[in-house]
């Protein structure tokens, strides 16, 4: 792995990404297909991962995605993405998804949240070191604690599944 650079704050790489949904993205019920929302969230998370790590990064896992309300055709979908936690080469990126009708300035609706794990890679596709994360706010520190819980559960689940396959 390459040399680690100085720690970066979540605000260094935090972004907002918005798009207007169209009929072509609708499912049979006439709402926006969940996969379209995941794609937008993944794109936002990818930008954050590459900014934080200062180079290419790939999606390793979608840890959790909660859909709270349907997204309608013509909604403006806004995503807010930031680094919650970093390991040696992996990063958890949290994405909050909100919508608003395109033709009315009504309040934003929180329609979903997603947690992606990205891994920074070098030119050969191998994992490379990422800068440490320096949380600045109480919110940043809460997100870091919660990301550690998700990681601990993910590793414990993998260990349990692997043990069951060996025995």
Ligand X SMILES: CC(C)(COP(=O)(O)OP(=O)(O)OC[C@H]1O[C@@H](n2cnc3c(N)ncnc32)[C@H](O)[C@@H]1OP(=O)(O)O)[C@@H](O)C(=O)NCCC(=O)NCCS
- Smallest distance from ligand X to CB 109, Å: 29
**Contact assessment for residue 10 and residue 136, using Cβ atoms and an 8 Å cutoff:** yes
Residues 6 or more apart whose CB falls under 8 angstroms from that of 83 comprise: 8, 10, 13, 14, 48, 49, 52, 91, 92, 93, 133
Nearest residue (CB) to ligand X, 20 versus 152: 152
Residue 31: CB minimum distance to ligand X, A: 25
Which of 111, 114 has the CB closer to ligand X? 114
Write down the H helix ranges in 81-137.
none
Distance of closest approach, residue 119 Cβ to ligand X, in angstroms:
4
Residues of this chain that bind ligand X (CB under 6 A): 58-61, 87-90, 117, 119, 121, 125, 127
Q: Backbone dihedral region of 119: left (phi > 0), alpha (psi from -120 to 50 degrees) or beta?
A: beta
Q: Which is nearer to ligand X, 77 or 93 (CB)?
A: 93
DSSP bridge partners of 86: 91
* Nearer residue to ligand X within complex by CB, 17 or 120: 120
- Shortest spacing between CB 51 and ligand X, in angstroms: 17
User: 163: helix, coil or strand?
Assistant: helix
């Amino acid at each position: 792995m390459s040399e680690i650079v100085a720690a970066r704050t979540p605000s260094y790489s935090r972004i907002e990404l918005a798009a207007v949904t169209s009929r072509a993205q609708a499912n049979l019920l006439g709402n926006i297909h969940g996969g379209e929302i995941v794609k937008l969230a993944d794109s936002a998370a990818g930008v954050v991962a590459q900014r934080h790590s200062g180079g290419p990064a790939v999606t390793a896992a979608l840890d959790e995605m909660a859909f709270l309300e349907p997204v309608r055709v013509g909604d403006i979908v806004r995503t807010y993405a930031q680094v919650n936690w970093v390991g040696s080469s992996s990063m958890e990126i949290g994405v909050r998804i909100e919508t608003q009708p395109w033709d009315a300035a009504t309040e934003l609706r929180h329609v979903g949240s997603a947690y992606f794990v990205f891994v920074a890679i070098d030119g050969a596709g191998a994992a490379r070191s990422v800068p440490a994360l320096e949380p600045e706010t109480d919110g940043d520190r809460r997100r870091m604690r919660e990301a550690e819980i998700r990681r601990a559960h993910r590793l414990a689940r993998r260990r349990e599944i692997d043990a069951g396959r060996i025995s």
